[in-house]
Amino acid sequence: MRRSARPLAALLAAFALTAGLFTAGSPAAARSGEAAPAAEPSDVSTAADTYTWKNVRIDGGGFVPGIVFNRSEKDLAYARTDIGGAYRWNEAGKEWTPLLDWIDWDRWGWTGVVSLASDTVDPDKVYAAVGTYTNSWDPTNGAVLRSFDRGASWQATTLPFKLGGNMPGRGMGERLAVDPNKNSVLYLGAPSGHGLWRSTDSGVTWSKVTAFPNPGNYAQDPTDTSGYANDNQGVVWVTFDERSGSAGSATQDIYVGVADKENTVYRSTDGGATWSRLAGQPTGYLAHKGVLDSATGHLHLTLSDTGGPYDGAKGRIARYDTATGEWKDTSPTAEADTYSGFSGLSVDRQRPGTLMATAYSSWWPDTQIFRSTDSGETWTRAWDYTSYPNRSFRYTQDVSSVPWLSWGANPSPPEVTPKLGWMTEALEIDPFDSDRMMYGTGATIYGTENLRTWDSGGRITITPMVKGLEETAVNDLVSPPSGAPLLSALGDIGGFRHTDLDAVPPLMFTSPNLSSTTSLDFAEAAPATVVRVGNADAAPHIGFSTDNGATWFQASQPSGVTGGGTVAAAADGSGFVWSPDGTGVHHTTGYGSSWKASTGIPAGATVESDRENPKKFYGYKAGTFYVSQDGGATFTARASSGLPHEGNVRFKAVPGAEGDVWLAGGTASGTYGLWHSTDSGATFRRIEGVEQADAVGFGKAAPGASYQTIFVSAKIGGVRGIFRSTNGGADWTRINDDAHQWGWTGASITGDPRVYGRVYVSTNGRGIQYGESSDGGGTDPGPGPDPDPPGDAGCSVAYKITNQWSGGFQADVTLTNTGSAALDGWQLRWSFPDGQKVGQMWNAAHRQSGAEVTAENVSWNGKVAVGASVSFGFTGSWSGRNTAPAAFASGGETCTTRG
């Protein structure tokens, strides 16, 4: 089980991958006080093709540190993520709508959201404090974004300092708050010693509250020299006592939390003019949250000995009576018995005195959630030990809508799967519905809609409430010519085999379980053969699949391997080249039972395979391109003149054309662009007009074109975006728009070899975006029908066994509509002659009874035009013989068969 959605070690090791974002729902746009860099004059078309953009559905995948309900309008809620933007709840669809997909490449850091505030007086207004890192990793200062239409459009005020949505302490808060009586007044708690800030004009301008006495002093690790763990976590939350003001008049009593273990709570009783340390407060801890129950007059605090979100060994819960000044320790556990900190905190606005809290850093055996109906005097727990290791539960948990949340685990008691959560720093009871509660974890949002059952001794039902929120960081993407349309390499949750782009995959890659997959590849001529590498706490760091990623087996690895690096598969699957972290480049034949060191290429080089010649592999490092003609045993340096020596450099070979290589990358302060070689890297030609490029990939050729479609994440003609060329790079068309930019998209891009125009785009926090073209893409046409199909049949079928091994095989099937009417939903039936059994099928659903098999469309490929085709594949088992089916039927018609 991962302990972090954003592990620091992985972040430090791979920070060349900056940040990104996603799209679905209404597009959002920004109008900023700090204008975006002016675009240079350009002849590049930016609207020649209109694309439809969606997420490849995963549902969640990262840390959700904040959930905010509006207190004056039912069902209006927002969620913030640490690197993946902000979302608004859509009650009708029970899903989240992304709000920050407009954030551009130059301001990628604004995808990190450190705080959210929803205006109680005017629910149309919402604010977001954005910025990902407070150190040098983020090149831009933070900003406060303001929207007067619930996030459909935004204006921005850039701050004179940075904010840290992905910094230590990001689960504390909320740092941003709107005065519930005079909504033109906002406060913002700043990190890095910058103190408390205030706006009196609805977030347009900000000034430091000079009277506030304490900017904080706590850092996670003062000895860290990176600027990350040694940053002062600062002022961490602001809470108003709404009873001390009236409509249109500023609230007088304001409470502020500070990252200072001896002075963690301050109060103003004069609308922020003066401030003082709240007397009698608990010491030795940081107040992660401060929530005031206005009906009882109690200010509740959850405290931890660290700032989180991963750590915390001790904690307390405290209550302050605002009328009497009395403090009381209301912790549910004796201090000596506490092994985690407390953070998540919410009060029930419908039921005074009812509150809930979380033990956010209780990693084992699970997180803990506490509930009190008497202002913290007594507590009940989500689970309790009966006789160790057995536990009793006040909940049932159903993850069938996001089945990968089981992690494929089979733990022994006291652990169970799925886990209740980890990093549970956000928990909110719906202010209008005492039965609804949501809480964030390091991987998802969970919730319940029968919360009060807890109090009567029953079990609440906990399910994922995360649909629409996509928060994965994407390292690599491949789209094979058969099998699943997409395989992904993801940070923190490994990656998936995506057989249906609009459905949640059942499970991430396992055997081995890699915390982050850094690279994957398939054999171009044998797509059932797949290899992946990545980071893990222990060996192995590599896995192989012979069924297109459906199942995996672990392999051995060279000595000295510490991380995944990059990997490449020979075009026919006969061998592999691996450039792992910690040691040099190695090669193997077969499936990695033994590895030999490659010569002539430096350690740390990026490796790729030629997609036509199985003996040819390529490498690149520090401005020099390398080629191997002997399966990766030896490499020779080739081109080195004019190529980028630094930066994010990636290259790929074109399928079907030996020696055809495209290379993208560089740095803004040095060499930067896109290059093309047709002689296996002996020479490279720079592509004119492409000022910057960071990822390149290929997809099915356009109708009438002979060369594969090229996709790039690039800057062309002064415009940053996702571009497509259908004529070998001579001309480019921008296919995204300003509402769909997703911050940083430089890790990976690939087209689909089966669907013209379809493209898959990586982001660093907004998951996998896929786009469909309006000029002919979106339906898998397969290989097309025969020129003159025989007879009067309404269908023809091509059945091909693409791979076979002892006891198993893989087959591809193409169904062509040769009738006179388009299909809106299809089925295909056949009978196996030798007792074969279908194991797993992709791009179609199936059922089998004895020898009889029925395959039918999935959600996205049911419509098949006259003359068009649809393809699917499957793995199966056999014994004795593996004869192809003799006949196929669809729609009551016997189909003709094609070889």
Residue 66 · residue 115 · CB < 8 Å: yes
Residue 574 · residue 546 · CB < 8 Å: no
| Residue 414: exposure state from Cβ atoms within 10 A (0-12, 13-18, ≥19) | middle
Range with the lowest mean pLDDT among 115-124, 305-314, 815-824? Answer: 815-824
- CA nearest to 593, candidates 536, 553, 566: 553
- Return d(Cα 864, Cα 591) in angstroms, integer: 39
Strands 795-805 and 893-898: parallel
pLDDT at 197: 99
> What tokens appear for 879 in the block?
């014994």
Kindly report whether the peptide bond that precedes residue 703 is cis, defined as omega within 30 degrees of 0: no
- CA nearest to 151, candidates 93, 66, 64, 80: 80
Residue 368 · residue 362 · CB < 8 Å: yes
* Maximum distance among all Cα pairs of the chain, rounded to whole angstroms: 92
Element (H, E) at 428: strand 426-429
Residue 835 · residue 851 · CB < 8 Å: yes
pLDDT of 41 over the 60 cut = no
> What tokens appear for 530 in the block?
């797949």
409 half-sphere exposure, CB direction, 13 A CA radius:
14
pLDDT at 21: 27
| Residue 33: exposure state from Cβ atoms within 10 A (0-12, 13-18, ≥19) | exposed
Residue 147 · residue 126 · CB < 8 Å: yes
pLDDT at 899: 67
pLDDT at 470: 98
How many other β-carbons are positioned within 10 Å of the β-carbon of residue 883?
A: 12
pLDDT band, residue 812 (cuts 50/70/90): confident
pLDDT band, residue 891 (cuts 50/70/90): confident
Please state the length of the chain: 899
pLDDT band, residue 368 (cuts 50/70/90): very high
Percentage of residues in the chain with pLDDT exceeding 70? 92
pLDDT in tens, 492-518: 999 999 999 999 999 999 999 999 999
- Return d(Cα 799, Cα 836) in angstroms, integer: 14
- In one letter, which amino acid is 615? K
The residue-averaged pLDDT of 601-606 equals 98
> What tokens appear for 446 in the block?
């969970």
| Residue 491: exposure state from Cβ atoms within 10 A (0-12, 13-18, ≥19) | buried
The residue-averaged pLDDT of 54-70 equals 98
> What does pTM read for this prediction?
0.84
- CA nearest to 873, candidates 850, 848, 846: 846
DSSP category for residue 39? P
Catalytic one of 59, 82, 253, 581 = 82
492 is catalytic: yes
- Return d(Cα 817, Cα 827) in angstroms, integer: 12
Residue 414 · residue 432 · CB < 8 Å: no
Residue 91 · residue 70 · CB < 8 Å: no
How many other β-carbons are positioned within 10 Å of the β-carbon of residue 402?
A: 25
Higher pLDDT, 13 or 818: 818
The residue-averaged pLDDT of 31-59 equals 59
pLDDT in tens, 304-324: 999 999 999 999 999 999 999
DSSP category for residue 20? B
Residue 359 · residue 302 · CB < 8 Å: no
- CA nearest to 31, candidates 177, 148, 167, 142: 148
Catalytic one of 59, 104, 476, 492 = 492
pLDDT at 776: 59
pLDDT at 397: 98
- Return d(Cα 361, Cα 892) in angstroms, integer: 59
pLDDT of 42 over the 50 cut = no
The residue-averaged pLDDT of 856-874 equals 85
- Return d(Cα 53, Cα 46) in angstroms, integer: 16
138 is catalytic: no
Higher pLDDT, 865 or 460: 460
